[in-house]
Amino acid sequence: MKKSRQDKALWGGRFAATPDKLVQEFTKSVQYDWRLYREDIFGSLAHARMLREIGVISSGEFAAIEKGLRQIFAEIEAGVFKWDAAREDVHMNIESALTARTPAGAKLHTGRSRNDQVATDMRLWIRHSIATDLALITGLQTALARLARKYQHIVIPGYTHLQRAQPVWFAHHLLAYVEMLARDFSRLEDAWQRADVLPLGSGALAGSTIPLKRERVAQLLGFSAVSQNSLDAVSDRDFILEYAAGGAILAVHLSRLAEDLVLWSTAEFGFIRIGDAFTTGSSLMPQKKNPDVAELARGKSGRVIGNLVALLTMLKGLPMTYNRDLQEDKERLFDTVDTVRQTLGVLAAMLADTQVNAAACERAVSDPLLLATDVADWLVNRGVPFRHAHEIVGQAVALSERRRIPLNKLPLTVWKKLHPVCDASLQKIFNVREALSRRKMTGAPGKKQVEEQLKRWEKILK
């Protein structure tokens, strides 16, 4: 198939024919990179303004380019712009449409390549995306803090190896996820800084002989710095890797939260009841109420982790500089963004429609074995070496199991046989709320400490 005049204007005169249809289908990316249209147009407007300022295009040509790009933007926003797969990608679609509207459009690509253009678009897109993600993380933290405040009087067992370990305030458990999400927030903020570098002006790989003012474009687009090596600038996708890594860690945290919610909602635990709007039924069993939202949140983490692995694998063997393999970065990035955002939003909404079963929590936390470590600490405070104290309490637990009586019901005579320091005050150890009040150090689940952390986070999250 021979090329049209517009094809020649866009692709140059090297090729006598357009790519085979199979090649077009294989190489096209417009079906997903159209999402970069906003960034592509903003980047082009900044580039055109700079070209006018250095005298490459006239004021009239700039006005025509600006008018054309704004029209295209409005059409895309309205959903009436016609994307052409034969133009391969978002960049060529927009430039082709612009050139059809004004001859000045043929000058827009002066001093730039799609290599530095797409790198710029991606950096702009990620910066905008991170700003949205940070708001969603804050939203989930707020939902957790509100649920913690609402049920701050509830105590539940803390677990290791999914076995009951020691008592903690329910609020303390939820605030653990608030802390995790704070690290996720910080990681994405850090990734934003790494994306805050302008690659435009690096050309295909070796810059340009045209006296471009890169710092002026950076100023117009809000970048705080320009790239310092043209080879690195067009091939660098570290900023996408960092975002994908941050997204994967965030997804893992969301999966862990979802797992707790799934466990707590079972009949075996019964700690929480998730609202009907965030659960589903069974096509066969009429009694079922399944925590599908939490399960999907747990499952979707695998996609996000897979996206990071796919990006790392795609990049690991690439020589300098730009290679077409890099086209594969977008679908993985877009999927990470979409999946993480959707999960953050639905979990926050679900938590707002979740209730705690105080009676079930109270039954679970009444297990005296949860305070076995407190008994060991009590012995230590009376001069017994910890390893000896650990052995003594272990023997007491074994005796309670053999006699089939709770640990707190063992007679004092039994305790005295285990160690003479034991007296009647040992029984006070088995009051759960008093036991929690003794946890006074920073970060511990003492009542005062948890209240301080709740207030701290409520202040931060405002």
- 4, 58, 186, 282: which one is catalytic? 282
Amino acid, res. 409: K
Pairing state between β 225-226 and 272-274: unpaired
Q: Hey, what are 444's tokens?
A: 């511990």
The string of DSSP letters for 117-148 reads HHHHHHHHHHHHHHHHHHHHHHHHHHHHHHHH
CA dihedral 116, 121, 122, 123 (to 10 degrees): 90
> Is 129 tagged catalytic?
no
- Could you tell me which of 378, 376, 365 has the C-alpha nearest to residue 424? 378
Contact 123, 199 (CB under 8 A): yes
Centre a 10 Å sphere on the Cβ of residue 201 and count the other Cβ atoms it contains: 25
Contact 454, 171 (CB under 8 A): yes
Euclidean distance between CA atoms 67 and 446, whole angstroms: 63
- 161, 255, 301, 419: which one is catalytic? 161
The C-alpha angle 246, 252, 280, rounded to 5 degrees, equals 130
> Is 47 tagged catalytic?
no
Contact 53, 216 (CB under 8 A): yes
Euclidean distance between CA atoms 7 and 308, whole angstroms: 36
Return the SS3 of 35: helix
DSSP strands (E only) in 161-263: 163-169, 197-198, 225-226
Euclidean distance between CA atoms 287 and 378, whole angstroms: 47
Query: H or E stretch including 175?
Result: helix 170-195
Residues pairing with 356 in the sheet:
272
The string of DSSP letters for 92-105 reads HHHHHHHHHH-GGG
Return the SS3 of 295: helix
Euclidean distance between CA atoms 10 and 152, whole angstroms: 64
- Could you tell me which of 198, 314, 193 has the C-alpha nearest to residue 243? 193
What are phi and psi for residue 274, nearest 5 degrees? -85, 140
Q: Hey, what are 34's tokens?
A: 């159209």
Euclidean distance between CA atoms 320 and 326, whole angstroms: 12
Q: Mind telling me the catalytic residues?
A: 161, 282
